[in-house]
Amino acid sequence: MRIWSLLLCLCSASLFIGAAFPGKADGPGHEAERIFQRAKAEDFKGDEYCAACHEDKVANFAGSPHAACMSSDKLPLGKRGCEGCHGAGGVHQDENNPEVVSFRSMTPKESSAACLRCHESTMSASHWKNSAHAKADLACVTCHKIHPDSEPQWADSSFKRGKADDLKKPLFTAAAATKSLLMADEPTLCGQCHTSEIAQFRMNSHHPVPEGQVVCSDCHTVHPSKESKSRFNGVNDKCVTCHTEYAGPFVYQHDPVAGNSGDGCLECHKAHGSANPRLLNTFSRGLCAQCHTEKLSTHHPGQSCWNTGCHVAPHGSNTDPYFLKP
């Protein structure tokens, strides 16, 4: 009952806010859609027409995974080759009102909408606009490069750690190779904004991101796609993707590991890096004692609760209710 009351309050508040701050009307579709709708069939001239002026760009585009996908004759004209993204050459060269879809000069919202003309088959506009990255005013081209020679340009953006060419300098020397279509290797790219997480990776105990064995997207769904939506979500499900030995279910479960309390694995571990061994939140037996307070020093004083041959299976056990055996 309480939830429905709250929902009613939120909806009322939303309606009030929506009415109070109407904003600008979006008009008929987005900018790219308008430019494409303007084009007639004869305005689409093909890649050779573009190469007359943009020879390097056209040659370089052949090295992009997009090139193979956009070269099919079966595709509609508005989704083929250079003009599939940038609009018809005839419109670009129109004497009266030349227009082109320029991803870097549009607003992030318009730029992303232009990409979703095709990519809506893998990620809906709704999924994208509700992602934290869209809400932070990022565009697809903030992180992705479509032309292999694209230079990172963080126009009108201050959320970068250094100069625009910072992305050419990996934050971690041994980081994993840059994936195709990304501006840089993942820690360097994500670290432009997520600075405190990068600082955590420098700590003594960390997930091996600096060593190139793990990348950010192994754990984080950077933007929700339909494929990733179909996976199980939740903190623990993410962790047991790699730490499969803790997937259980165990006969004797430890509540945090089973996801029954609070933040799951994060009740004991830090996700990125920690000063304590094995990414623990706390050092030694203090970890267990933060909940099991009565066991701090009077219960078998010694070292860590799990290292002294006692609670050797803290994640769960099939044989012992006190996790003394696996």
Partner 1 sequence: MRLNRRTVSLIWLAFAAAASWGQDGQQAGDTNPPTTEASTAITQWGTLDLAYGDWAIRGNRHKFLQYSTPGHGFYIADMNLVFPLKANSPYASIDIAAPGLETSAVSGLMQFFHGQTQLWFNFSRNEFSDPGSGPVEPSTSKLTTVTVSQAITPEIGLFVKYHRDQKDYSFQAAKDPTATRTRTTTASLEGKALGGDAAVTYTDWRFVDMQGFQPESVQRRLTGRYGIQLTPAIGLEGSLGQTRIEQTGYQDSEIKSSSIGGDWDIGPDTNLRFNFSRDSFDLPNVANAYVQDRFNSSFNLTQYWQRWNFQFGYRHRENERVTADHTYVDVPKFDQLEAKATGRINKAIRLSARWTWNRATDPATMDTTDSRLLYWDQRVRAQAKIDANLGRLLGYATYNVNYTRNTDRQVDVTTGTVTFGGSFSVADNADAYFEFSNSQTKAKGLSDVGGLDLDSFYPSATTLALGGNWTVKPNWWLAASYTYLFTDNDNPLLLPDGNFRGRYLTASLTHQFGNGNEAALTVAPWQYRDRIYDNVGYDATMVMLSFRVRF
Site for partner 1 contains 12 (CB under 8 A): no
Binders in 28-47 for partner 1, by CB under 8 A: 47
Which one, 98 or 326, has the nearer CB to partner 1?
326
Site for partner 1 contains 284 (CB under 8 A): yes
Which one, 34 or 212, has the nearer CB to partner 1?
212
Which one, 65 or 98, has the nearer CB to partner 1?
65
Q: Are 91 and 99 in contact (CB under 8 A)?
A: yes
| Three-class secondary structure of residue 216 per DSSP | helix
Site for partner 1 contains 6 (CB under 8 A): yes
Binders in 47-76 for partner 1, by CB under 8 A: 47, 56, 59-60, 62-63, 65, 67-72, 74-75
In the complex, least distance from residue 99 CB atom to partner 1, rounded to whole angstroms: 23
Site for partner 1 contains 237 (CB under 8 A): no
What span, in angstroms and rounded, lies between the C-alpha atoms of 277 and 284? Answer: 9
As a dihedral over the C-alpha atoms of residue 44, residue 48, residue 50, residue 53, rounded to 10 degrees, the angle is -150
What span, in angstroms and rounded, lies between the C-alpha atoms of 326 and 320? Answer: 7
What span, in angstroms and rounded, lies between the C-alpha atoms of 201 and 260? Answer: 28
Q: Which sign, positive or negative, has the C-alpha torsion 15, 19, 24, 28?
A: positive
Site for partner 1 contains 300 (CB under 8 A): no
Q: Which of 40, 41, 163, 324 binds partner 1 (CB under 8 A)?
A: 163
How many whole angstroms from its chain centre is CA 220?
A: 6
Q: Which of 1, 5, 22, 96 binds partner 1 (CB under 8 A)?
A: 22
What span, in angstroms and rounded, lies between the C-alpha atoms of 117 and 79? Answer: 9
Q: Which of 1, 5, 25, 42 binds partner 1 (CB under 8 A)?
A: 25
Binders in 250-269 for partner 1, by CB under 8 A: 250-253, 255, 258-262
CB atoms within 10 A of CB 124: 16
Binders in 207-226 for partner 1, by CB under 8 A: 208, 210-213, 226
Binders in 69-128 for partner 1, by CB under 8 A: 69-72, 74-75, 121, 124, 126
Which one, 40 or 62, has the nearer CB to partner 1?
62
Q: Which of 37, 93, 107, 303 binds partner 1 (CB under 8 A)?
A: 303
Which one, 103 or 172, has the nearer CB to partner 1?
172
In the complex, least distance from residue 93 CB atom to partner 1, rounded to whole angstroms: 22
Site for partner 1 contains 324 (CB under 8 A): no
Q: Are 284 and 303 in contact (CB under 8 A)?
A: yes
What span, in angstroms and rounded, lies between the C-alpha atoms of 292 and 164? Answer: 50
Those residues with Cβ within 8 angstroms of residue 93's Cβ, 6 or more apart along the chain or in another chain? none
What span, in angstroms and rounded, lies between the C-alpha atoms of 157 and 192? Answer: 11
Q: Which of 1, 5, 97, 294 binds partner 1 (CB under 8 A)?
A: 294
Q: Which sign, positive or negative, has the C-alpha torsion 294, 296, 297, 300?
A: positive
